[in-house]
Amino acid sequence: MPDNPYVPIPVRVQNVRIESDDRTLRTFDLAFGDDSEPFEYLPGQFCQLSILGKGEAAFGIASSPTERESLRFTVNRVGTVTTALHYLKEGEELGLRGPLGNHYPVEKFKGQNVVLVGGGFAFTTLRSLAAYLLANRSDYGDITVIYGARRPGLLLYRNELAEWEKRGDVKVHLTIDEPAAGWDKAVGFVPALAEKVRPSPKDAWAVVCGPPVMIKYTMPVLLDLGFAQDRIYTSLERRMKCGVGKCGRCNIGPKYVCTDGPVFSYAELASLPEGF
């Protein structure tokens, strides 16, 4: 970060593609410009993407630090800033502030098994984590991905998921909410799939990202399976402005999602009043 944490660095859209069949999600690969140095980061961190004149919004980094060439973000079109982002074309410039926040404890995961549970378009930082773990495959034990969306067309990074399925060293379990033509995998909600997959808690860590309702129902499943509270991690979202712990709106109890989070363990959240 530069001396002034409010001033974004310029980045350029290297590649943009429509991510979901309803066109509400777009994935951007951003390249650092001539005036901006690539920065170090770890899976779970986020950035503020900035369209001057429209504002800023926070997005988890979907790329892995092992992918040096660019930064990836997937943007759901909901408000003013995300709409402006959706209008960006290849080669256009935007601003970026980051990396912000903490990250998944990948050091702790070393030599251990990791279970990734994701739902919908909150899969972004899980993709970062999965790519990171796979790039450093020998450092980690079993890797299990449990991921679901409403429809096949709403699953993020479908090509990559297919590649992972082909690799022998990662177990991928996908599900959609309701049966769909051409879908031969699981049908049902993510917590139910997790219950069926029954990942072992032994020497394992779980990372859960998804809509609040999915998290709410997945947590008990993992706890029942025997995952300890401090071995389950999740990433939170709150309305943010500054991203650097000053503007005061993303707090959950005394913790700021932007600087103390966005990654929290279940144990930490359980001790916070607004945690769930």
Q: Using CB under 8 A, list all residues that contact another protein.
A: 1, 3-8, 10, 52-57, 78-82, 92-95, 237-239, 241-242, 244-249, 251, 253-254, 259, 273-274
- Minimal CA–CA distance to 124: which of 265, 262, 268? 262
From the CB of 35, what's the least distance to another protein, in Å?
Answer: 9
- Residue closer to another protein by CB (options 42, 116) is 42
Query: Minimal distance in Å, beta carbon 96 to another protein?
Result: 11
Closest approach, Cβ 222 to another protein, in A, equals 23
Look at the block and give the residue holding tokens 């998804």.
Answer: 210
- Least distance (Å) between residue 27 CB and another protein: 19
Q: How would you classify the pairing of strands 251-252 and 171-176?
A: unpaired
Q: How far is the CB of 100 from another protein (least distance, A)?
A: 9
Give the residue among 161, 132, 131, 160 at the shortest CA–CA distance from 146. 161
**Closer residue to another protein (CB): 168 or 254:** 254
Do 239 and 78 meet the contact criterion of CB atoms below 8 Å apart?
no
Identify which of residues 78 and 135 has a Cβ nearer to another protein in the complex: 78
Of 119 and 201, nearer to another protein (C-beta) is 119
- Which of 153, 245 has the CB closer to another protein? 245
Least distance to another protein, CB of residue 75, Å = 11
Number of Cβ within 10 Å of residue 25's Cβ equals 22
- Output 52 or 135, the one with its CB closest to another protein: 52
Count Cα neighbours of 230 within 13 Å in the Cβ-side half-sphere.
2
For residue 236, give both structure tokens. Answer: 């939170």
Minimum CB distance to another protein smaller for 108 or for 246: 246
Nearest-angstrom CA–CA distance, 138 and 135: 9
SS (H, E, C) 177-244: CCCCCCCCCEECCHHHHHHHHCCCCCCEEEEEECCHHHHHHHHHHHHHHCCCHHHEEEECCCCCCCCC
Least separation in angstroms between residue 203's CB and another protein is 32
Computed from CA positions of residues 94, 133, 135, 150, in that sequence, does the dihedral angle turn out positive or negative? negative
